Amino acid sequence: MTARRPRRSPAARAAATPAPPRLAARLHDTAQRLLAARASWGRDEARLEAELLYAEAAGWDRAKVIAEGAAPPDASTLARFEALLARRLAHEPLAYILGRREFYGLTFEVGPGVLIPRPETETLVEATLAAIAAHRRARRRVRVADVGTGSGAVALAVARHAPSAEVTGIDASTEALAWAGRNRAALGLVARVVLLAGDLLEPVTEPLDVVAANLPYIPTEEYEALPAEIRKGEPRLAVDGGEDGLDAIRALVAQLPAHLAPDAAAALFEVGAGQAGAVAELLASTLGGEASAVRTHRDLSGTRRVVEWRRGY
Ligand SMILES: C[S@@+](CC[C@H](N)C(=O)[O-])C[C@H]1O[C@@H](n2cnc3c(N)ncnc32)[C@H](O)[C@@H]1O
């Protein structure tokens, strides 16, 4: 005769069944996996990425992911989340996986073939808006070019914030221009921004009052050492600036005398750390004036990020 096991109460049975993992625990584990894959990441960055990927998988915003931390995640969302995470662990840029990036308070669609707008480029937008506002034609029409427009980040942010700006965005990459076109439509700026394919200012025929450019400026040797996700993900044409990083900037400065309005004009260049002095010299020697009169603007980390030359203001 076998002894009957005592019946357990429902409360005891519930206590003995392992609770499904809470979302917060899952995100913690995911952040650990991301950290293990990327030596350069901080804990906060890894956690943020885990939350953003889960938000994308669930169709939620990040605030809801945080608020739902105590609940167990559902199976179908988890399957989508794991698929997105696998892409991230294989070095695909987060913005490509999400399909978008915030820049200057606007949402830009991005994906393979176009540079993801960087926060430091907001310094170029700020300085360009100030150059437009100070221009003698500011109340009428200021003709602006954004050279190397990529996703249209600078051109569209400027057009949105400067009502008198008539903006042309130019890029050598038709793939990048396709993204710029989508963003121009999504932001309702089709009537305000012209997009042209070509080399630097070659396709522009009208004189320009303000030229802004975030062209590739990373020296080739540094480019070769960049993280895999930049080299594998973003186009080399957008990043590699040649031996000293200044090939494209030099070529554009050489074109400026033929394109700038003769009475009043400004030219603004985003540059890498340590390049501001060389670009100021280049602008002064090509366009006239003293290199010391060329202004520079620092980004939020204190780096001299934008070099600005003006005449006739
Ligand atoms: C650093 S990305 C900047 C993209 C965008 N302006 C931004 O700030 O996010 C440089 C862009 O310049 C373009 N580019 C490179 N060389 C060029 C050239 N010679 N003429 C026109 N565009 C060029 C690239 O295709 C790329 O889109």
What are the pLDDT digits (tens) for 20-75?
679 999 999 999 999 998 877 788 999 999 999 999 999 999 999 999 999 999 99
pLDDT at residue number 12: 57
The ligand 1 atom nearest the CA atom of 199:
20
Mutating to test ligand 1, I would choose from 214, 250, 255 the residue with most ligand atoms within 8 A of its C-beta, which is: 214
CA–centroid distance, 294 to ligand 1, in Å, is 23
Q: CATH for 101-311? A: 3.40.50.150
pTM: 0.91
**Residue 181 alpha carbon to ligand 1 centre in Å:** 15
Percent above pLDDT 70 for the chain: 93
Ligand 1 site residues (CB inside 6 A) read 115, 117, 121, 148-151, 153-154, 170-173, 176, 199-200, 214-216, 237-238, 248
pLDDT at 1 over 50: no
Q: Is residue 288 a contact partner of residue 278, using CB atoms and an 8 Å limit?
A: no
216-273 pLDDT, tens digit each: 999 999 999 988 778 878 999 999 999 999 999 999 999 999 999 999 999 999 999 9
Examine the pLDDT at 286 and tell me if it is beyond 60.
yes
Please report the atom of ligand 1 found closest to the CA of residue 118.
9
Going from N- to C-terminal start, the domains of the chain cover 15-90, 101-311
* Confidence (pLDDT) at 37: 87
Which of 139-153, 176-190, 206-220, 223-237 shows the lowest per-residue confidence on average (mean pLDDT)? 223-237
